[in-house]
Amino acid sequence: MEIVQQVIFILLLAATGWLVARRVGVIGKTIRLGRDEDRRDQPGKRLSMMLRIAFGQKKMFDRPLIGFLHLAVYLGFVLINVEVLEIVIDGIAGTHRVFAPMVGGFYGILISFFEFLAVGVLVACVIFLIRRSIVKVPRLQPERHREMHGWPALDGKLILVFEIVLMIAILSMNAADSVLQDRDNAHYTQTGTFLFSQFLKPIFAGISTEPLIIIERFAWWFHITGIFIFAVYVTYSKHLHIVLAFPNTYFAKLVPKGKMDNMPVITSEVRIMLGLDQPQEGAVVPEHFGAKDVQDLSWKNLMDAYSCTECGRCTSACPANITGKKLSPRKIMMDTRDRLEDVGRNMLANKGEFVDDGKQLIGDYILEEEILACTTCNACVQECPVLINPMDIILQLRRHNIMDESKAPNSWNMMFQNLETNQAPWKFSPGDRLNWAQKLNE
């Protein structure tokens, strides 16, 4: 029977590994569809930023209570995986608590620490679930934000319930294990009682040995199977940011947030017009300006889309959204990710190559009305806890619409014309620019 369990476990582990690797491969390929962009400068500064923002959760603590709860879940997720490593080894080798003989009396302290983290995760997830379902934090509600309808709202709640159940499974497994140790069962290594699961022992104390072994084994299998399902699920969920937050913050821009990237070709033309540069022989003019689909964005823009936590901090700070405009920076990132998902499925169906499907990011996923509403204030960029830049995507989409499609509003066209002829947005000559000040001293 033990051999059968080992074989089942190894097959389950291999299937999980294959599914995760396959999904990671698709995500990697879709991100690499983006334009090349060098983000390898100043590695020391980038590493410091990653440690502060991703590992240290610095921006989460702008709201201290939420930051503390999120840190509890994050640390629990990272450190409890040490116990998962032991479970994986036990599953492959057919052993039970393989680390216990190696570390001796320290083992009980270690598992008690993991239980402390598990309880912290459980409490934090319950509070987060209450905030979503009972308190109803406005930025998380589908009634207020259309991008949260359907799966995004369910995903946020589902993962919380999933984590709560997994933590209960850990504590139940340890409690049943402790009771079986008290009965001197040879298979259950003596480790002593654990910090929190000892309070659950009375629930299992009245159960006879054979049914209790079944309960303990069920909790063990339920927990590790749940971990495997979670590992696959995360790659399809907004919780992919658990992994991508690290490279995403490492490769974030180091320049001030308010700085916009100019288009080199346009900058060169302007400098030539002003007599600052000379025309270059063989200068290549791009086929189009800005971005109309994900392939026109940079690989970092696409990584941003996959890294989005859907927390809505960007949208709750957006002045356009606050005043009733359709723009939601969170939706921009989610729509970009949705387009990437469709592109990924297209590539899977066509042996790794993308075949034109007649769709594009602007128009089919993101509306023109949304990108025109952006004031480029950078509030969304400032608020993001993992340094995502929705405004960069908005600007590139807007540039394509205006420069390639000539879809600027009439009021914008008038402003562009005034800038060209009068070097100012207003329709009067530069010589009259200070006339408004003439009567100030009268």
Question: Residue 148, exposed/middle/buried by CB under 10 A (0-12, 13-18, 19+)?
Answer: buried
> How many Cα atoms occupy the beta-carbon half-sphere of 60 within 13 Å?
20
> Is residue 168 within 8 Å of 122, Cβ to Cβ?
yes
Other beta carbons less than 10 A from residue 356's beta carbon: 8
- Residue 211 CA to residue 422 CA, distance in Å, equals 87
CA atoms within 13 A on the CB side of 97: 21
What pLDDT score was predicted for residue 306? Answer: 95
pTM, entire model:
0.88
Residues 123 and 103: their CA atoms lie apart, in Å, by 29
Whether 289 contacts 399, CB under 8 Å: yes
pLDDT at residue 53, as a whole number: 93
The residues near 419 (Cβ < 8 Å, ≥ 6 apart) are 425
Question: What's the first-to-final CA gap in the chain, in angstroms?
Answer: 101
- Residue listed under structure tokens 């599914």: 19
> Rounded distance, CA 217 to CA 68, Å?
34
Distance CA 438, CA 165 (A): 73
Q: Both tokens of residue 431?
A: 């010589």
Please, what sign has the CA dihedral across residues 340, 290, 358, 412?
Answer: positive
Classify 154 as helix, strand or coil.
helix
Residue 101: both structure tokens together: 């003989």
Supply the pLDDT for residue 282: 67
CA dist., res. 357 & res. 10, Å (int):
40
Find where tokens 């216990």 sit: 100
- CA within 13 Å, CB half, 330: 26
The enclosing H or E element of 320 equals: helix 319-322
Looking at residue 1, its pLDDT comes to 60
Q: What is the DSSP letter of 353?
A: -
Contacts of 323 (CB under 8 A, 6+ apart): none
Name residues of the chain where pLDDT drops below 70.
1, 282-285, 442
pLDDT of residue 262: 82
Kindly calculate the radius of gyration of the chain based on its CA atoms and give it in whole angstroms.
Answer: 28
Helix, strand, coil share (%) of the chain residues, nearest 5:
65, 0, 30
